[in-house]
Structure 1
Amino acid sequence: MRSTVVLGFLGSTLDASKFGPSRWAKWRPTVGLTMHDDLRVDRLILLHGSQHQRLADYVTGDIADVSPETKVEPHILDFDDPWDFEEMYGKLLDFARAYPFDPEAEDYLIHITTGTHVAQICLFLLSEAHFLPGRLLQTQPRRGTIEAAGSWNIIDLDLSRYDSIATRFAADARESTNFLKSGIETRNAGFNAMIDEIEQVAIRSRAPLLLMGPTGAGKSQLARRIYELKRLKRQVKGPLVEVNCATLKGDGAMSALFGHRKGAFTGAAADRAGLLRTADTGVLFLDEIGELGLDEQAMILRAIEDKRFLPVGADKESASDFQLIAGTNRDLAACVTAGTFRDDLYARLNLWTFALPGLAERREDIAPNLDYELDRHAEREGERITFNKEARDRYLAFATGGQAKWPGNFRDLAASVTRMATFSPAGRINLDSVTTEIARLQRLWTGGAAPAADPLAGLLSPDQQDALDPFDRVQLAHVVTVCRASRTLSDAGRTLFAASLRQRSSTNDADRLRKYLARFGLSWGDITAAAG
């Protein structure tokens, strides 16, 4: 059976009493905790100062009377000032590190009822950090009685054991991740897992965050949501300062970022604080950080590490305590290799790196983002626009299919929804609006040139095309193109199966092609008729 060991301070006030029979009519925490039938104390580690030796001996004697099985193990800890937190914590930490605790064989309870408030706080902190490998033990007198034993309660610091607290934590985490996703019920498992990680890092760390991803993937919006989440958690009080580093060119970049002193250069008619100084106690978002020059990168690194930087033309440094979020659509590791990005800055940013997937990699999230963009349009314009069912199904079939490239990612989607909403008659986006928008997107994505004719148009309905896997679509389109360029079914078969023909002495290519087309409900006549 495992032994139960209690560690606690001798209470110089609460454990003191008159030296006589009347002491048993008083609650004394250290003696009382050994008087419970439902709490067996095999060993008591009693901490006290040298000046309280007589009281310690007296309490030890009383414990021997009421609980002979309890072995009292006194330890003298002297303090110059028992209310000095640094001294108290340091000496208790030294004790905890030196004491031969054996958690495999013994259960430890840390008695936090006695001692100064500072001592109680230190015992709690050391237990939470597992320097003291035990649970907290709290004792108190029973109200309205003169019972000497009092009552006891164990406080377990493993919060996962408390159902209501664990439920609240889980709900809070869900609320935070939902906040970061702007309330969008995203369905992409990889993206959701990444947002879960960002939520934990944003709340628990002030280290720089690096958001990587293609243009329009949502880096700026996510940076703003991270800032707003930290504001809600009261972790920052300053502003969010957003900087597109691609707009900072030449000599003006240093001045914009780090500020300047009056007269530092021609045109510097007054002091300028600079964007880093403005971000003090807040968040600085440097979008497209890969566009900064090497000199600016060096000063940014110093500002991150030392919270100090030198404005242009100044002989005295400025200070700013901000958290950095950096964004880029470049491969910074490749930039380091090419010599255009500092390896020490990259190493500093690379602690927390998150790669945001493009819209084409999150096609299952297009539907909820479509609703989100309609909500944003309603907020901006004060008018609620909706799809009719046929139009919505057609748009989503295109948007989630292989034809939709989404090079601009969520910016493309937002612009597309805005156009359809603007041209929608009577607040409803219909099939004609969707058909027009799909054609417009295809023109935009091909540089204004008309997209190549789809060989399957006229042969298969939109629903039939949407049911095809991209692999089958490409293969079937090529087969149809060859068929239309051939005089007969046999000619088309010989062209399509030329390699097979060379490897075999005889084959029926026409029959093989006929069976292939039949898989898709097509015949030679269907294809030639559509071509005509």
Structure 2
Amino acid sequence: MKNVVIGFLGTQLDVGKKRRWKPTRELLQQDGFDVARLELLYDHKFARLAHGVAAELRDTSPDTEVLLRRLDLDDPWDFQEVYGKLFDFARGYGFDEDRERYHVHLTTGTHVAQICWFLLTESRHVPARLIQTGPPKEEGGKGKFDVIDLDLSRYNALQQRFDQLSREYSDQLRGGIETRNPAYNGLIDQIELVASKSDAPILLLGETGTGKTELAGRIHNLKLDRRRVKGRMVHVNCATLNGPDALSTLFGQRRSHTGVAGTERSGLLREADGGTLFLDEIDSLDLNVQAVLLHAIESGTFYPVGSDHQVSCRFHVIAGAGRDLRRLSAEGCFRPDLLACLSMWSFTLPPLRNRSGDLAPNIAFELAQAERELGVQTGFNTDAREQYLRFATDPATLWLGNFRDLGGSIRRLCTLAPRGRITRTMVDEEIDRLRDNWQSARSEDDFRLVAKVLGDASADLDLFDQVQLAEVIRVCRVSPSLSAAGRSLFAASRAKRTSTNDADRLKKYLGKFGLTWDAVKERS
């Protein structure tokens, strides 16, 4: 296959002004690299030099076809002009990769031209390898000659290094916990890519306790490592901002607003300048504040309360919400334009009950955390650990508070453990405590939940049916399918039967109240 080289005429180097070294001429004198055709790009202002260099090259390598290609540049340092004309040159060239192997000589031409060559070859608009030459270190010695292939897949060690770095970033987002849930791991890998490449807002959704705040902090740290932000992360709990001081807390306040010394405030947005602004529980933010916040996010400017002059600041936005923002928007409780701004990158963190495979490593993580906080090494007895893990992974255990419940549970066990050992009796007591807490938290909402689904018909139900139906509705709403809900609801009795059809049992139960699976899910 014939070697073809394309490059700019060196208006200084090819004249021999540096150690009398001429890079284009030396290119044709490399052992083992025969050039069938050399194409020199030149500006009409240097036509005389171009023809002189071409004649010298033909004398140096008679077997090489030397072609002159005119490429006029008004400003060889104008990136837009150089890239545009090289792009047009490439489109009209007619590369024949079956018969010819193409190379681009980087040494001649401006630095702007070198950058443009790199971009065009890396994107395969110019299907070529890059050649870099250099003068000899000693008089009479051989000059530098390197061929650079941009196909990184050939460099296995380099590719493995990139892959390892990507895994380290993903592990950082997981908090060092060896999670095993494929869906969650896939979610984290996506967040790692987005956080590393994009400065658009990130929206984290999920039930309370699913780890939105911790993940936001890890995203910020990842952005610090990738040098996408420089400042700190400012955590704003939007649920505390619904009052007369909300605007001044976020956007700052000038003394002129009240006329009282000491009332001026810089505002949380100013504190986040150059860093990350984490808007936790943004679904609780007042509509008027949402409007001002939207403008600040999109424009990077805002007016502090009492000021006639705009303030500019830039920050990366991460927002967290525990409720369905689309439903809130449809109900008029959340601005659709703010939702559109925040949801370019939206990630929903799964509840703990849907990550049964991750419970064992998370229990170990919480245990290590508790040991550091208490300063006492603590561990489970074998039977106690088996009992706790069996309860934790049981489909009927819903973990209403998710990681808050899990972390609190482990800390209680560690605190109460005599001589640093968690016993089976302690685990049984803790399981009863968790179930009692969850039951108390739910009992007040049973009537409202059933009434929302059944309407007026709920008034005819006995208290027993209301409590039982409310629990069934809750399980259905957090389950991905009818079968999954059935497995959660009938977990104990299923173990005693030889043949099971949990989905059919659940469908018949709902039918007693005139309900279907779709109806329960639609009204959630």
Shared fold per TM-score greater than 0.5: yes
TM-score (norm: length of structure 1): 0.79
Quick check: 1:260–1:268 contact (8 Å CA) kept in 2? Answer: no
Q: What aligned pairs does 1:131-146 form with structure 2 within 5 A after superposition?
A: 131-144=125-138, 146=140
Aligned: 1:96 with 2:87: yes
Taking the TM superposition and a 5 Å limit, the aligned residue runs for 1:369-380 are 369-380=362-373
Could you tell me which residue of structure 1 aligns to residue 467 of structure 2? Answer: none
Alpha-carbon spacing, 1:131–1:345, altered in 2? closer, same or farther (3 Å): farther
Give the drift of 1:142.
4.9
1:250 aligns with 2:221: no
Whether the 8 Å CA contact 2:396–2:489 is kept in 1: the answer is no
How far did 1:278 drift? 0.8
Is this contact kept in 2: 1:109–1:137, CA < 8 A? yes
Q: Is the 8 A contact 1:263 1:269 kept in 2?
A: no
Q: Are 1:74 and 2:68 matched, yes or no?
A: yes
- Cα distance in 2 for partners of 1:402, 1:306 equals 47
Equivalent residue for 1:301?
A: 294
| Secondary structure in structure 1 of the residue aligned to 2:390 | helix
Tell me, yes or no, if the aligned pair for 1:443 and 1:449 is still in contact at 8 Å: no
Q: Please state if 1:404 is matched with 2:397.
A: yes
Among 191, 196, 199, the residue aligned to 2:192: 199
Match of 2:308 in 1: 315
Q: How far does residue 4 in structure 1 lie from its aligned partner after superposition?
A: 3.7
Identify the residue that residue 43 of structure 1 maps to in structure 2: 37
Aligned to 2:469: none
Partner of 1:512: none
User: In the superposition, relative to structure 1, how do residues 477 and 271 fare at CA in structure 2: closer, same or farther (>3 Å)?
Assistant: same
Structure 1 residue ranges without an equivalent (≥5): 453-467, 480-495, 500-532
Alignment of 1:105-116 (within 5 A): 105=97, 106-116=100-110
1:445-460 to 2 correspondences below 5 Å: 445-447=438-440
Deviation track 1:409-445 (CA, whole Å, cap 9, x = no partner) reads: 0000000001000100001111111111011011111
Q: What residue number does 2:121 align with?
A: 127
> Cα distance, 1:263 vs. partner?
3.7
Are the equivalent residues in 2 in contact too, given 1:27–1:147 (CA < 8 A)?
no
Give 1:379-390 correspondences, 5 Å limit.
379-390=372-383
Q: Using the alignment, how far apart are the partners of 1:122 and 1:284 within structure 2?
A: 37
Match of 1:219 among 205, 212, 219: 212
- Aligned residue for 2:255, secondary structure, equals coil
1:383, distance to aligned residue in structure 2 (A): 1.8
Distance 1:43 1:339, change over 3 A: farther
Pick closer, same or farther for the CA change 1:103–1:283 going to 2, 3 Å: farther
Tell me what 1:283 maps to.
276
Deviation of 1:218 (Å)? 0.2
Equivalent residue, structure 1, for 2:512 = none
Once superposed, which parts of structure 1, at least 4 consecutive aligned residues long, lie more than 6 Å away? none
TM-aligned CA deviation for residue 77 of structure 1? 4.2
CA separation of 1:469/1:337 partners in 2, compared to 1, >3 Å: closer, same or farther? closer
Number of equivalent positions: 455
Q: After TM superposition, give the deviation of residue 58 of structure 1 in Å.
A: 2.0
Q: Confirm or deny: 8 A CA contact 1:386 1:427 kept in the other structure.
A: yes
1:250-285 deviations in Å (ceiling 9; x for gaps): 222111111121142587843211111110000000
Distance in 2 (CA, whole Å) between partners of 1:477 and 1:130 is: 60
Tell me whether 408-417 or 5-14 shows the greater mean CA deviation.
5-14
1:398-437 paired onto structure 2 within 5 Å: 398-437=391-430
Return the alpha-carbon distance in structure 2 between the equivalents of residues 439 and 17 of structure 1. 88
Q: Judging changes above 3 Å, is the alpha-carbon distance between structure 1 residues 264 and 241 closer, same or farther for their aligned structure 2 residues?
A: same
Residue by residue over 1:8-65, the C-alpha shift from the partner in whole angstroms, topping out at 9 and shown as x without a partner, is: 12222322249xxxx9x96422122223453343332312333432332122113223
For residues 427 and 383 of structure 1, the distance between their equivalents in structure 2, rounded to whole angstroms, comes to 7
Find the counterpart in structure 2 of residue 7 from structure 1.
Answer: 6
Judge conservation of contact 1:97–1:131 (CA < 8 Å) in 2.
no
Residues 57-83 of structure 1: per-residue CA shift (max 9 Å, x gap):
12211322343443333234455664x
AA aligned to 2:93 is: F
Which one of the candidate residues 340, 344, 347 is aligned to 2:333? 340
For residue 279 of structure 1, what is the amino acid of its counterpart?
A
Question: Given residue 290 of structure 1, which amino acid in structure 2 is its aligned partner?
Answer: D
Q: Is the 8 A contact 2:374 2:415 kept in 1?
A: no
- Aligned-pair CA distance for 1:215: 0.4
Of 20, 32, 56, the residue aligned with 2:50 is 56
For residue 6 of structure 2, give the secondary structure of its aligned residue in structure 1. strand
TM-score using structure 2 length? 0.80
- The one-letter amino acid of 2:106's match is I
Instruction: Name the counterpart of 1:324.
Output: 317
Q: Over residues 154-182 of structure 1, what are the superposed CA-to-partner deviations in whole Å (9 max), with x where a residue is unaligned?
A: 21223332222111111111111101111
What RMSD over aligned residues (CA atoms) do the two structures have, in Å? Answer: 2.9
> In the alignment, which residue of structure 2 is the partner of 1:517?
none
* Larger mean Cα displacement after TM superposition, 202-211 or 61-70: 61-70
414-423 or 312-321, which deviates more: 312-321
Distance in 2 (alpha carbons) for counterparts of 1:254 and 1:324:
18
Among 22, 34, 41, the residue aligned to 1:28: 22
Q: Do the aligned partners of residues 88 and 266 (structure 1) sit closer, same or farther apart at CA in structure 2, a change above 3 Å counting?
A: closer
User: Alignment partner of 1:446: what SS?
Assistant: helix
Letter in 2 for 1:295: N
CA distances 1:70-111 after superposition (whole Å, capped 9, x unpaired): 3333234455664x4xx1552243232244133453543221
Contact 2:414 / 2:420 at 8 angstroms: preserved in 1? yes
What SS does the corresponding residue of 1:15 show, helix, strand or coil?
Answer: helix
Could you give the per-residue CA deviations for residues 194-249 of structure 1, whole angstroms, max 9, x where no partner exists?
A: 11111111111111000011000000000001111112222211110001111111
**Could you tell me how far apart the structure 2 residues matched to 1:29 and 1:408 are?**
69
CA distance in 2, matches of 1:10, 1:65: 17
- The 2-side partners of 1:414 and 1:441 are apart by 12
Alpha carbons 1:27, 1:146 under 8 Å: kept: no
1:184 has 2:177 as partner: yes
C-alpha contact (below 8 Å) 2:73/2:81 kept by paired residues: no
The answer to whether the aligner puts 1:164 opposite 2:185 as a matched pair is: no
SS of the counterpart of 2:314? coil
CA contact (8 A) 2:75 2:81 kept: no
Q: In 1, distance between residues paired with 2:333 and 2:83?
A: 51
| Contact 1:112–1:120 under 8 Å retained in 2 | yes
SS of residue in 1 equivalent to 2:15: coil
Q: Structure 2 counterpart of 1:321, which letter? A: R
CA contact (8 A) 1:26 1:146 kept: no
Counterpart AA for 1:9: F
Q: Partner of 2:451 in structure 1?
A: none
Identity %: 45
Please say which of residues 27-36 and 470-479 is displaced more in the overlay. Answer: 470-479
